[in-house]
A and B are shown apart, each in its own frame.
Chain A
Amino acid sequence: MTVEHPALALRGLAKRFDGTIAVAGVDLDVPAGSFYGLLGPNGAGKTTTLSMAVGLLRPDAGSAWVLGHDVWQDPVTAKRLLGVMPDGVRLFDRLTGAELLAYNGLLRGMDPAVVDQRAAELLDVLALGDAGRTLVVDYSAGMKKKIGLACALLHGPRVLVLDEPFEAVDPVSAALIRDILTRYAAGGGTVVFSSHVMEVVERLCSHVAILAGGTIKRVGTIDEVRGGRSLEQVFVEVVGGRTATGEELSWLSQ
């Protein structure tokens, strides 16, 4: 099979916006079957990197492969293997949850009967069935993340790429999302997600890459990256530590 191919391979991906360099040459190999966390502070280039990796943003240089298929040369095959939840959960939010799933399923060329069945299951498992005819635009932040995840999962992708799946999600929804992702990975799927929540990454991931200033600073299995310390310590050290607040904000205390 495709054992020799990594689930996701990035080579020299680079992008600049209006003169500022957002991503400066990212190389990354995501082994098939891994649970990969892409860590980085705000503005590190996580979203830009992932967008280029899944075919949403054309890179200035470099290339990306999904299970050996070039995302930019052979987008049709690569996109068939991918499930994507873009940043800020961009969805057609004037549809109801069920309508949105049906839309995404048919757009992927799936059989209508299968779409119906999977959509019902997903809505049920993600506790979105109660929403009924509520439009996605009226969903809460957590519900939006869940329906976004459902859209990404619907066609049974081999590689799941999620941008900030745990941002602005309450603990109950977060636990649910975590469970589903774990089950997906256990079933042989590969998950790549970006985050800056250390606990989640530490709990879930088999591999971690730390991105800062548009380049990869640390990469490897979670134990390699941690090196016996906590992930947060490593992260703060790599990214450039916190500044001490002593006298500066004295007016905050009344």
Chain B
Amino acid sequence: MALPVSADATPAAPVRSVSARHFVRLKLRVMGNNFRGQGWRIALFVGGALLGLWFAAAGFFLFAAPGLTGDGRYAVLIAAAGGGLLVLGWLFLPLVFFGVDETLDPARFALLPLPRRTLVTGLFVAALISVPVLAVLIASFGLVLTAWSLGGWSAGLVAVVGVLAGILLCVAASRAVTSAFATMLRSRRVRDLAAVLLAVTAALLGPLQIFGLAALREADWTRLTGVATVIGWTPLGAPWTVGIDVAQGRVWAAPVKLLITVVALGALLAWWSRSIESAMVGAASAGKAPVRRGVTGGAVAQLFPRVATWAGRDRFGALVAREARYWWRDARRRANLITIAVVGIFVPVLINVTGGDFAFEDGAGFTAAASDSSPVVVTISMLLVGVLAAVTLANQFGFDGSAYAANVVAGVPGRVELRARMTAFSLYVLPMLGVVAVVLSFLLSRPEWIGLTIGGLVATYGAGLAVNSLISVLGAYSLPETSNPFAMNSGAGLAKGLLTLLAMLASVVAAVPMVVAAALLGDAWLWLALPVGAAYGLGAALLGAYLAGDVLDRRQPELLATVTPRR
């Protein structure tokens, strides 16, 4: 391990070389120190770990099913489809929901004399130390069991190699993609391009979902097995299917598939390493904004963006104007807006256009009965979109960070603060929701449902705003001050996931009356939905601001302390 100390070299060669081991130990140490004296963090971590184990166990039995039943017919199908979903999940979930754990922020290593290869390997290995990786590892050993029971120990051994490679691929993919998008969103020049790219990538979810739905509906297993075989030859499915290939006598396929995986892994790591470099070097500022002179109007006129010119030149107006500017100027917030736009269009289209056979993932096996789209299904899909849009505000004060001190010092009343924040966010989201409603109605060739869709959207969005205001005051947490809009503090990923889940559940409950009304009232609801939904949404939002504002008034300093990054 130790290199000989060279006597003559001017910068003395390091006595010991830095290896991935150091990064792993650093990560564990940082995680451990984060827990110190923070009981609730430990509780959250344990809770998250248990949740992860639960999913891991479920995944394990799914993957192991062909092996346990001794029926090899669908082994490839399950391995390819399940494994492919895993990889895609690692790709998209961090972008859309969870962010990446940036316990070890690459920018912190900028000054250390580390070769890039060492740095990337180290960060990569450190990224493997996480609960989700462990959960996937446990789940995917179901594949090993399948391969072993179908093809003996040699197949099982190959499956182990494949599964491990697959996990590496998952982590590399999530790192590379979030890092690349972070770089793009940071740059003032290509950030709009990044938005489009994000939308297109998310659009790729479409075919996948249709595939899944077709599987449920037609149950034409032979055809699906064919598709799965093809997926098995892409990086998405290759690592997961090698064990089964060996078990089923296609030994020659194993090295080829492993090679595919390794090449994909190498490409992803190379990509990641390039964007890491830009994150390290360009962290300070990605090019100065052009200095435009000849500014028109006074300071107040400059503060108000065009979308907020209607607002009064007072406290409320200033808050709305500042928030409206922030939703566009802050990369982190903009990433959230883009996500809403993407999810808002695709979720309802997929649910409704593919025939309403949408199986909820919560395990309850709930399936909308209608073979064609119905007002109830439409309302449910709108409920999802409205809730997803509103949940963005669950940590609205975390976006501000320590800058929130300005509002505390000025003694802004909580109700004004929350109403203004809701208003500014709605300036962007309501038009988006309107577009969603119109597009959906026309895609379904049911223009008379516009009222229904808008009503459902606005009602759930308003109810979601109310719930999330309260959560944003009580459950705020600090976001790391890095340039990566997807970065999370270690441990905060779980907190964020749980908080989001809680917020969404509560919002759904608050919006249930709309679904009930859609189910009970029949055709009359088509006309009532818009006015009732709008009134319900507005009323809920105002009530939420009223109640949560009171809490905020009492908790301002505490809130400031929780959103201030510890440093």
Give chain B interface residues in 310-367, CB to chain A under 8 Å: 313-315, 317-319, 321-322, 325-326, 329-330
The answer to whether A102 touches B300, judged by C-beta atoms less than 8 angstroms apart, is yes
**What interface size band does chain B fall in?**
35 or more
Q: Are A91 and B557 closer than 8 Å at their CB atoms?
A: no
> What residue in chain B is nearest A20 (Cβ atoms)?
B37
Answer yes or no: A79 CB below 8 A from chain B CBs: yes
> Most chain-B CB neighbours within 10 Å: which of A55, A96, A106?
A106
Please report which residues of chain B, range 396-420, place their CB below 8 angstroms from some CB of chain A when the two chains form the complex. 400-412
Distance (whole angstroms) from the CB of B96 to the closest CB of chain A: 23
State whether A107 and B412 are in contact (beta carbons under 8 Å apart), knowing that A92-B326, A116-B298 are contacts in the complex.
yes
- Pairwise interchain contact B411-A119, C-beta atoms closer than 8 A: no
Once bound together, how far apart are the Cα atoms of A107 and B290, in whole Å? 28
Residue of A nearest to B298 (CB): A116
Q: Report yes or no: A56 in contact with B329, Cβ–Cβ below 8 A.
A: no
Is A203 close to B, CB under 8 A? no
Give A71-121 interface residues, CB cut-off 8 Å to B.
Answer: 75-76, 79-80, 82, 84, 86, 88, 90-96, 98-99, 101-109, 112, 115-117, 119-120
**CA distance in complex: A42, B356 (Å):** 63
**How near does chain B come to A37, taking the closest CB pair, in angstroms?**
21
- Give the residues in chain B near A239, CB-CB below 8 Å: none
- Cβ–Cβ < 8 Å partners of A133 in chain B: 289-292, 295
Closest to A91 in B: B403
Q: Is the CB of A103 within 8 A of B298?
A: no
The answer to whether A107 and B410 touch across the interface, beta carbons within 8 angstroms, is: yes
Choice from A88, A119, A130 contacting B298 with Cβ under 8 Å: A119
Q: Does B201 contact A (CB under 8 A)?
A: no
A160 to chain B, nearest CB (A): 12
Given A58-B558, A108-B410, A134-B289: A98 touches B299 (CB 8 Å cut-off):
yes
Contact of A101 among B299, B400, B407 (CB under 8 A): B299
Which residues 126-168 in A have Cβ within 8 Å of B in the complex? Answer: 130-135, 137-138, 151
A120 to B412, CA, bound (A): 24
List of B residues within 8 angstroms of A67 by Cβ: none
| CB-based nearest A residue for B333 | A94
Give the residues in chain A near B292, CB-CB below 8 Å.
132-133
In this assembly, does A19 line the interface, its C-beta being within 8 Å of a C-beta of chain B? Answer: yes
> A54 contacts the other chain (Cβ, under 8 Å)?
yes
**In contact, A116 and B299 (Cβ under 8 angstroms):** yes
Return chain A residues, CB-CB under 8 Å to B290: 133
Chain A residues, CB < 8 A from B108? none
- Chain A CB within 10 Å, residue with most, of B37, B330, B405, B407: B405
A94, B313: Cβ atoms under 8 Å? no
Q: Choose from B288, B302, B410 the contact partner of A98 (Cβ within 8 Å).
A: B302
Q: In the bound complex, do residue B291 and residue A99 qualify as a contact, i.e. CB atoms below 8 Å apart?
A: no
Contact present for B322 and A103 (CB under 8 Å): yes
Residues of B within 8 A of A200 (CB): none
Give the shortest distance, in Å, between A54 (CB) and chain B (any CB).
7
Partner of A90, one of B298, B317, B403: B403
**Contact among B298, B313, B325, B401 with A120 in the assembled complex (CB-CB below 8 Å):** B298
CB distance from A53 to the nearest CB of B (A): 12
Cα A79 to Cα B412 with chains together (Å): 10
Q: Does A176 contact B (CB under 8 A)?
A: no
Interface residue A175 (Cβ < 8 Å from any Cβ of B)? no
Q: Mark A47-72, 1 if CB is under 8 A from B, else 0.
A: 00000001111100000000000000
CB of B561 closer than 8 Å to a CB of A: yes
Give the contacting residue for A19; candidates B37, B326, B404; CB below 8 A.
B37
Query: Complex: how many Å from CA A76 to CA B556?
Result: 13
**Contact: B322 with A95, CB < 8 Å?**
yes
For residue A18, CB closer than 8 A to chain B, the reply is: yes
Could you say which residues of chain B place their CB within 8 Å of the CB of A120? Answer: 298-299
A102 touches B299 (CB 8 A): yes
Chain B, range 410-435, C-beta contacts under 8 Å to A? 410-412
In this complex, what residue of A is CB-closest to B291?
A: A132
Q: A55-B408, A58-B558, A92-B406 are in contact. Are A107 and B319 (CB under 8 A)?
A: yes
A75 to B303, CA, bound (A): 27
Q: Which residue of A lies closest to B36 (CB)?
A: A18
- Among B288, B289, B409, the residue within 8 A (CB) of A54 is B409
Complexed CA–CA distance, A32 and B38 (Å): 42
Q: Which residue of B lies closest to A155 (CB)?
A: B410
- Known contacts A95-B325, A132-B291, A135-B289: does B302 contact A102 (CB below 8 Å)? yes
Taking CB atoms, residues of chain A closer than 8 Å to B315 are: 106-107, 109
Q: Is the CB–CB distance between A99 and B302 below 8 Å?
A: yes
Q: Are B295 and A55 in contact (CB under 8 A)?
A: no
Beta-carbon contact of A79 and B293 below 8 Å:
no
A-B contact pairs, 23 of them (CB 8 A): A18-B37, A54-B409, A55-B408, A55-B409, A56-B405, A56-B408, A88-B402, A93-B403, A98-B302, A99-B299, A102-B300, A102-B318, A103-B303, A103-B318, A105-B300, A106-B314, A106-B318, A107-B407, A130-B291, A131-B291, A133-B291, A134-B288, A138-B288
Given A55-B409, A106-B303, 5 more contacts at CB 8 Å? Answer: A57-B561, A94-B326, A98-B295, A106-B317, A112-B300
Closest 9 CB pairs of A and B: A116-B298, A106-B318, A119-B299, A102-B303, A102-B299, A90-B402, A98-B299, A112-B313, A94-B329
Name A's B-contacting residues (CB within 8 A): 18-19, 54-58, 75-76, 79-80, 82, 84, 86, 88, 90-96, 98-99, 101-109, 112, 115-117, 119-120, 123, 130-135, 137-138, 151
